[in-house]
Structure 1
């Protein structure tokens, strides 16, 4: 465990070694690599037997749950953890924007990408759950 922590510290150090200008190149990898992994897991998940049952369950909504307050609390909690508005990351990213940056476009784009990623991740999770239930 300590060795893994050391590796993470070294990666962070060398990513930020020469300042913010070189970290832009690192961001291309760290931002896109999770989507590559998600795509690989999605392809693997849909090839499993029984995955169609899990995906069918994922896409069949339960409209009675809309009236349950706990569902809305869980959804709001998911949004706050997913977007992380109170963690300071968005503020740190915003400090590097130009003064006249279109923040509305950035907010809509960030929310859309976050929602789409969560939706695709649901396919990955429920395809594996369908396999496990098979």
Structure 2
């Protein structure tokens, strides 16, 4: 259902109107990478999270209201009182976002794993050029 809605939406947007949202670069030798226990820095991008809110909800396909930061993944993303990086977000409408926070397991049984939805969403963002290398 969501894939069909995305395909229809993408077909309506001329390729020349799709503009990159964020540009990424890689550091081959970051200083923190040489530390035994580096303090991880949270990556934030208001521009990216604003764009995420313009995409269809990963739960129901309706227009999204929120960029949902992945939680309870078992992968050590975020923590108590902290959010994971802004790159690890999926678009959700208010209803789906509230339902997910109310009961993560039930929401994932109905809509799929947040991590799987994230990988699919990132693949699409990279594929349409919303994220690209600088």
Q: TM-score, normalised by structure 2?
A: 0.33
Which is richer in helix?
A: 1
Higher relative contact order, structure no. (Cα contacts within 8 Å, ≥ 6 residues apart): 1
Which protein shows a greater Rg?
A: 1
TM-score normalised according to structure 1 size: 0.33
